[in-house]
Amino acid sequence: MSTTLSPRSDTRSRIITVALELFAENGYEKTSLREIADRLGVTKAALYYHFKTKDDIVHGIVEAMAQPIDEAIAWGEKQPWSPEVRDELVRRFAAGMVERAPLLRFFHENQPALRGSPSGHEFKQRMIGMIRLVHGPNASFDDRLRATMALFSVNSALFLLKQDLDDDGAHPAQCEETATLEQAVAASLTVALEIAGRIEPGAA
Amino acid sequence: MSTTLSPRSDTRSRIITVALELFAENGYEKTSLREIADRLGVTKAALYYHFKTKDDIVHGIVEAMAQPIDEAIAWGEKQPWSPEVRDELVRRFAAGMVERAPLLRFFHENQPALRGSPSGHEFKQRMIGMIRLVHGPNASFDDRLRATMALFSVNSALFLLKQDLDDDGAHPAQCEETATLEQAVAASLTVALEIAGRIEPGAA
Amino acid sequence: MSTTLSPRSDTRSRIITVALELFAENGYEKTSLREIADRLGVTKAALYYHFKTKDDIVHGIVEAMAQPIDEAIAWGEKQPWSPEVRDELVRRFAAGMVERAPLLRFFHENQPALRGSPSGHEFKQRMIGMIRLVHGPNASFDDRLRATMALFSVNSALFLLKQDLDDDGAHPAQCEETATLEQAVAASLTVALEIAGRIEPGAA
Amino acid sequence: MSTTLSPRSDTRSRIITVALELFAENGYEKTSLREIADRLGVTKAALYYHFKTKDDIVHGIVEAMAQPIDEAIAWGEKQPWSPEVRDELVRRFAAGMVERAPLLRFFHENQPALRGSPSGHEFKQRMIGMIRLVHGPNASFDDRLRATMALFSVNSALFLLKQDLDDDGAHPAQCEETATLEQAVAASLTVALEIAGRIEPGAA
DNA sequence: CATGAATGAGTCTTCATTCAT
DNA sequence: GATGAATGAAGACTCATTCAT
């Protein structure tokens, strides 16, 4: 009769999953609630039983997916800044985001829709928090930019990967073989650490 | 009575300017033709005299704004790849994009809308061309990622700058002074060259 | 442990009270069952345990609140018409309606919603019955109108009172002090009796 | 090529006519834009070409129909208050409203919908203005109530008339013959003047 | 060159209602 | 007595697009 740690409801989390999928693939604006409902085999009205508004679904997504970031932030806030901490943060972020690639993509590619949305803001704050921890206190604009790019690295890698797949083999020996997801992520981490490595300790 | 190099029509180019402004600021989907028309003081129908469809406006934008990229590409294609050429390409791209920041922002933040749009594809091809020239032949995935990020650097800098402006000074001595546009661009170039600098000549 | 004259159920009568409040304040159409349920701290479904439909709640309201009218009607039907009876009916109606002001307001301001509703009809029949008793048999249209207006007088007074409250003192010495509820009701009775006083015994 | 005094557009005024008809008959909330559009043989979207919102249609109605009231108010404001002016105002209002009966009915029976609507407020202000002119300065609550009821008299007469028609002859010799519209209006004026006649000159 | 009028398809959202538990 | 989950129908509104003038 009782499940340990029962999710708020099955439908609710299925909505979150499917919505993120569609939002990431087709964009927030181009994804209608009908599409989400159809793919789930329920009615639009059912969505409204679980979420007050379309934007509230985004809220649900963030709430359900941002945990690794929150943990990384929580951890980072307890450490005094050091190059090691910095690198560890980058690593943790990358690790957490690999399986959540759609979340990052959604966030990056839907800024206009998220601008002015409370839930969009919510996630942006987390990103900004991470960035701040990575570059540490008293950072120059250069270093803040490095921190930003280091974290966005995963995203660029995913962009590139997607490009390769869309071309499906149409690149004539110009480049090497198409990378796998794992390779892409590895590359993203390599480059991210390179970039972050140039961040200099805050000038007192 | 006669303009040297008269543009196809004044209204036409005003539409392009205003549309890009709005697309960049509010997003492609959230910008209606009515808004564009209103801001220009004409009717929606007038837009249809100059452009066949909403997407066609994007086409017009790209056509009107991508020139510097095209020139950089044209130049780059004639040079054999070398670290100097690579850096010069990065510099030219940055130089060209500073005044066209909205274009880049529009491109980055509206992927979902642009996906599936002929005009979106058009611009993406140019970006891919640039990336390819920057990393040169036979590049590893790592290097292609570096090239990509070097070019996207401007965009990250602009993202950061916008964040600062939105907070308007609410960050308590945590970071240095808010940067100016020029400083931001300079930083973006610095970092871009750092990243590109790690690209290694195509191995065997 | 036992209430004399226990109501059908406590929740049931709380629903009636709250529903009438909301119906009177915000209108029948603009009041959703969710609102009623929320204000009571129960679920919509709970309402359906006590009432078959939304309209059935109106039925419940009328049933619970129209008693004084019914009694006045019952009394009036036993008396032969006379000016004294007429005045007494007006007085009884006014007396009964003061504490039931929301009922009257609801009835007056929601005609469109009540039209076509069985429960709306129910109440209207009572009003018509009252009117008929007030003007007595063989009344001219003028007298029927007088009877109608005499009874609706309370409502107009309440309308006026509400207006005053909404303006909260913004009328610059144009009128006297804002009246209290008691004064308003007293005025309404004065005027009602004036109007009814002109009703002439059924001619011929 | 040019019509003197051409209406803003034919469709526009047809919308106003039909909308008022339906609003008065079925209520504001129960009248959907589809209904209005259907009855006009156009699409919902066409309505939105002429009116920004459903409420804006009400605004249009008031603007188009309230002229007689405005004129009466304008006239009344120029006269010093006197019993003759008072009666004349009542007469003018009645005269103006007969052909606009639906407007008054709409206003009376849709308070909840109009509450909070700018256009509803607009009309209410006019009514309040009229009332104020009828009772004159320094009026007691009683007199303000008389003024109000005098003006609402038409409405009550119409209510009564409608009742008679709905019963279609089911009243068993209880009352006289059903009145005609003209008789009803005449009665309403008679009673209105009676009521207004009791208004006493403001107590200096 | 441009407008006024209109459309069709689709969006998000709300509501009364139902039913298994 | 009451709830959680879901539905079907409908509503207001927006948008890109068309076309006669």
pLDDT over 60 (residue A82): yes
DSSP annotation of A139 reads B
What are the residue boundaries of the structural domains of chain D, listed by start?
1-52, 55-196
Checking each nucleotide's C1' against the CA of D48, the nearest proves to be F13
Q: Report pLDDT digits (tens) over D51-91.
A: 999 999 999 999 999 988 999 999 999 999 999 999 999 99
pLDDT over 50 (residue A2): no
Q: Report pLDDT digits (tens) over B135-170.
A: 999 899 999 999 999 999 999 998 898 888 877 655
Q: Which of residues 165-194 of A touch strand F (CB under 7 A)?
A: none
Q: Report pLDDT digits (tens) over C100-127.
A: 889 999 999 999 999 989 999 989 999 9
Average pLDDT rounded to a whole number, residues B162-189: 72
pLDDT over 90 (residue B29): yes
pLDDT over 80 (residue A201): no
pLDDT for B5 equals: 47
pLDDT for B101 equals: 86
Average pLDDT rounded to a whole number, residues C195-203: 83
Question: If you measure CA to CA, which chain C residue comes closest to D142?
Answer: C187
Q: Given A30, A140, A149, which is nearest B156 (Cβ)?
A: A149
Average pLDDT rounded to a whole number, residues D6-23: 89
Nearest to C152 by CA among A202, B28, A101, D159: D159
Helices (H), C79-140: 83-98, 101-109, 111-114, 118-135
Q: Report pLDDT digits (tens) over C70-105.
A: 999 999 999 999 999 999 999 999 988 888 889 999
Burial pattern A36-47, b for ≥16 Cβ within 10 A else e, equals: bbeebebeeebb
- Band (pLDDT 50/70/90 cuts) for residue A171 is low
Strand F nucleotides where any atom sits below 7 Å of a protein CB: 1-20
Average pLDDT rounded to a whole number, residues D113-126: 92
Q: Report pLDDT digits (tens) over A174-185.
A: 555 567 888 888
Which residues does C55 contact at the CB level (< 8 Å), separation at least 6?
Answer: C117, C118, C119
Quote the mean pLDDT of chain A: 88
Which of the listed CATH numbers 1.10.357, 3.40.50, 3.30.110, 1.10.620 matches domain C55-196?
1.10.357
In this complex, do B141 and A163 lie within 8 Å of one another by their Cβ atoms? Answer: no
A106 touches chain B (CB under 8 A): no
pLDDT for C2 equals: 44
**A50 close to A12: Cβ distance less than 8 angstroms:** yes
- Band (pLDDT 50/70/90 cuts) for residue D176 is low
DSSP annotation of C169 reads T
In this complex, do B30 and A29 lie within 8 Å of one another by their Cβ atoms? Answer: yes
Average pLDDT rounded to a whole number, residues B81-87: 94
* Architecture in CATH for domain B1-52: Orthogonal Bundle (1.10)
pLDDT over 80 (residue C40): yes
Q: Given C174, C188, C198, which is nearest D132 (Cβ)?
A: C174
pLDDT over 70 (residue D175): no
Same fold, D1-52 and D55-196: no
Question: If you measure CA to CA, which chain C residue comes closest to D193?
Answer: C195
CA-based torsion, D174, D175, D176, D177: positive or negative: negative
Q: Confirm whether any atom of chain F, the nucleic acid strand, is less than 7 Å from CB of B31.
A: yes
Q: Confirm whether any atom of chain E, the nucleic acid strand, is less than 7 Å from CB of C116.
A: no
The nearest CA of chain A is from the CA of B132 a distance in Å of 9
Nearest to D95 by CA among D19, D188, D178, D161: D188
DSSP annotation of A42 reads S
User: What's the pTM?
Assistant: 0.90
The label of the residue with tokens 């969505």 reads A47
The nearest CA of chain A is from the CA of B158 a distance in Å of 10
Phi, psi of A188 (to 5 degrees): -60, -40
The nearest CA of chain D is from the CA of C159 a distance in Å of 9
Average pLDDT rounded to a whole number, residues A135-156: 93
- Band (pLDDT 50/70/90 cuts) for residue D123 is very high
Q: Report pLDDT digits (tens) over A52-69.
A: 999 999 999 999 999 889
A77 touches chain B (CB under 8 A): no
